[in-house]
Amino acid sequence: MLGFDAPGLCGACRGLSAVVAKVRLVVDFRSDRMESPEGRGIARRAWDAYAGAVGKVTTPALKPLVHMYAAGSIVDLVGFWAVWHLEGGFEGLQRMGMSRASIYRRIKLFRIAFGAHPDEFEMPGITLDLVAFREGWAAKKQAAAKSQS
């Protein structure tokens, strides 16, 4: 099984806290800067194409939620929803290293913000492809192993 709990995916790291610790201690992207804060502009070009196709877009789709909660919290909850589905729900999050209390806390916040449990909620405009996700991580793992050998 791949994902954050997969052996070898992040070297000897196992569990999300180990991944976070490794990223904080080892990886420094300052010397590998993107051309702008937008990165390569993929999301911006997609948004501009959408806005051009439908006419003037006055507000982001999540703006009503952003008014109720901090923008960072909404972004975290959307990510939580994605990881919930990509890692197989409650037990998958535990295998990643999240505590039961953290998972329950995020479920509660998600239900308050989106009005449904993350397992039942369908995120408009987002389709998750579990097979592509797993195969993509496997390919990245193989590429990393080749570059290190």
b/e per residue, 76-114, with b = 16+ CB within 10 A?
Answer: ebbebbebbbbbbebebbbbbbbeeeebeebbebbeebb
Q: Report pLDDT digits (tens) over 52-82.
A: 766 665 566 666 766 666 777 888 999 999 9
On the question of pLDDT at 99 being above 80, the answer is yes
Confidence of residue 105 (pLDDT cuts 50, 70, 90): very high
Pairs from 67-74 (Cβ < 8 Å, separation ≥ 24): 68/113, 69/113, 73/109, 73/113, 74/113
Q: Is 39 left (phi over 0), alpha (psi -120 to 50) or beta?
A: left
Placement of tokens 């997609």 in the chain = 46
On the question of pLDDT at 40 being above 60, the answer is yes
What integer pLDDT is reported at residue 45 of this predicted model? Answer: 76
What integer pLDDT is reported at residue 36 of this predicted model? Answer: 62
pTM over 0.85: no
Structure tokens at 142: 């193989």
Confidence of residue 26 (pLDDT cuts 50, 70, 90): low
Q: What end-to-end distance do the CA atoms of the chain give, in Å?
A: 23
